[in-house]
Amino acid sequence: MLFHIISRADWQNAQDAGEYRPAGLAHEGFIHLSQQSQILRPANLLYRGRNDLCLLVIEPELVAAKVVFEPGSHGETEHFPHLYGVLNIDAVIDVIDFPCGPDGSFELPDTLGD
């Protein structure tokens, strides 16, 4: 599975539009995704303190656009999945609430398992 951190409002807008096309797609050319083991790095780096987020659980086999594993944008040496195109809504197989903890940091939701 692949994952994407998104605000609940942006997810609702994507559902209304029938696809997810974030503003950053036009600028960067891709949508940032994560594997499960990578979720917490961007969450704590970019979204600390936010309580309006959810995780999109994406089935890679259902994604219409090309997914490429490349070095992260914030100096990581680990390769992250980048989606080169819009995310088709039918590739999202689950949506999980992803609020921060009392100190503003994130932990993986229990529903993801190990």
- Report how far residue 87's alpha carbon sits from residue 74's, in angstroms, rounded to the nearest whole number: 22
pLDDT score recorded for residue 114: 54
Q: What is the pLDDT averaged over residues 36-46? A: 94
Is residue 110 very low, low, confident or very high in pLDDT (cuts 50, 70, 90)?
confident
Q: What is the pLDDT averaged over residues 54-63? A: 97
pLDDT score recorded for residue 76: 63
Phi, psi torsion values for 93, nearest 5 degrees: -100, -10
pLDDT in tens, 14-31: 999 999 999 889 889 999
From 37-41, 80-84, 110-114, the region with the lowest mean pLDDT: 110-114
Rg (CA), the chain: 13
pLDDT in tens, 64-93: 999 999 987 666 678 999 999 999 999 999
- Report how far residue 89's alpha carbon sits from residue 108's, in angstroms, rounded to the nearest whole number: 23
Residue 99 has pLDDT above 60, yes or no: yes
CATH superfamily of 2-100: Protein of unknown function DUF952 (3.20.170.20)
pLDDT above 90 coverage of the chain, percent: 82
Closest CA to 83 of 93, 92, 94: 92
pLDDT score recorded for residue 71: 81
CA dihedral 73, 92, 39, 107 (to 10 degrees): 150
Q: What is the pLDDT averaged over residues 25-41? A: 93
